[in-house]
A and B are shown apart, each in its own frame.
Chain A
Amino acid sequence: MLVDVAPSRPRRLRPRAGYVTIRVTGVMLAVLALGHFATTHVVNDVADTGSSFIAQRWATGLWVTWDAMMLATALLHGAAGLSVLIRDYRSSRRSQGRWIAGVAGGSFVLFLIGAATLMYSALGGR
């Protein structure tokens, strides 16, 4: 019996791009996300972080930049990380593609919502 042992198509670039994305954004998030949690739950009590706290924070360029970077890196990191899980737990290529497209689309929508909120509020809409 002949068995086809021809090598599969050359590996796509995407998995390696995902690997690098996860690591670079992960190191950034170790500072951004933990710093965010520390300021909103440890340094300040969470009860004091309502709308007036946000208004005060988003009046400063540093925090707007912080939150914008955190928004982008967290969504990139999460979407790339979930893609790894999807490749592990979904067996068929089609199913993987659908799930990854869903995660990517959802993350992009969340990015738009977050970015719009941040820009509208920081530029004085609120």
Chain B
Amino acid sequence: MTAAQWLFLAGFTLVNVAVAATVVAVVASARQLDGGARVTRSFLSRLGRLPTERSEANRWAFYAHRVSGVGIFAFLALHILDVSLYAVSPTRFDEVHELYSTPLMRLFECLLLLALLYHALNGLRVVAIDLFDMGPRSAGRLLNGVVVVTVLATAVGSAVILTPVFNGGV
């Protein structure tokens, strides 16, 4: 492992810390709005309500949108920095870029695809709700579509991304 690679992994750790911190902030805010002062068993059960009811589904969509958004933005920051290595020295850039094709990073890329697709499609849904003045019923139906397309497209994309791992290419 070279110094540049260690630096990348340190940055990558920060990306994950940012995601974890956002989850904490989202849960803390949910606790304030929806629960008591402490994390009690009843609060946890309320937080864990399944998104079978439409309003519950929208709540989960909102949480997921925030967490995926911060995750993508944190990775974007790291990605801008690692690509900027190319201007410094293409060899140095390739050193870091090698990490992207390791099995663990490929797994992360599948998660990134999931976050990107969900955030993009749900974001378009939010725009559509505002532009076409949609009610909760059609917004809920649209959310079902967002989830289905996200899951299917992530599955297809992940299969492509992970194929070299299963073929023993990496």
Contact = CB atoms under 8 A, between A and B. Distances in A.
Given A41-B109, A81-B69, A120 B87 contact: yes
Q: How large is the interface on A (under 10, 10 to 19, 20 to 34, 35 or more residues)?
A: 35 or more
A82 B70 CA distance: 7
Given A23-B127, A34-B116, A85-B66, A51 B81 contact: no
Contacts of A116: 84, 87
B73 A51 contact: no
Main secondary structure of the interface of B (DSSP, over half): helix
A61 interface: no
Given A78-B73, A117-B84, A117-B86, A46 B109 contact: yes
A69 interface: no
B70 A34 contact: no
Contacts, number: 104
B117 interface: yes
A121 B83 CA distance: 11
Nearest to A30: B120
A51 B123 contact: no
Interface stretch (B36-44, B50-58, B92-100, B137-145): B92-100
A33 B127 contact: no
B29 A82 contact: no
Contact of B93 (A41, A50, A85, A113): A50
How big is the B interface, by class? 35 or more
Interface string A19-54: 000010011011001100100011001110111001
Contacts of A15: none
Nearest to B83: A117
B161 interface: yes
A101 interface: no
A113 B127 contact: no
Contacts of B112: 37
B106 A85 contact: no
B7 interface: no
A41 B157 contact: yes
B113 A51 contact: no
Interface of A: 23, 26-27, 29-30, 33-34, 37, 41-42, 45-47, 49-51, 54-55, 71, 74-75, 78, 81-82, 85, 88-89, 106, 110, 113-114, 116-117, 120-121, 125-126
Given A23-B130, A41-B109, A117-B80, 19 more contacts: A34-B120, A41-B157, A41-B161, A45-B101, A46-B161, A47-B164, A49-B100, A50-B98, A54-B86, A55-B90, A78-B73, A81-B69, A85-B25, A85-B69, A89-B25, A106-B77, A110-B80, A116-B87, A117-B86
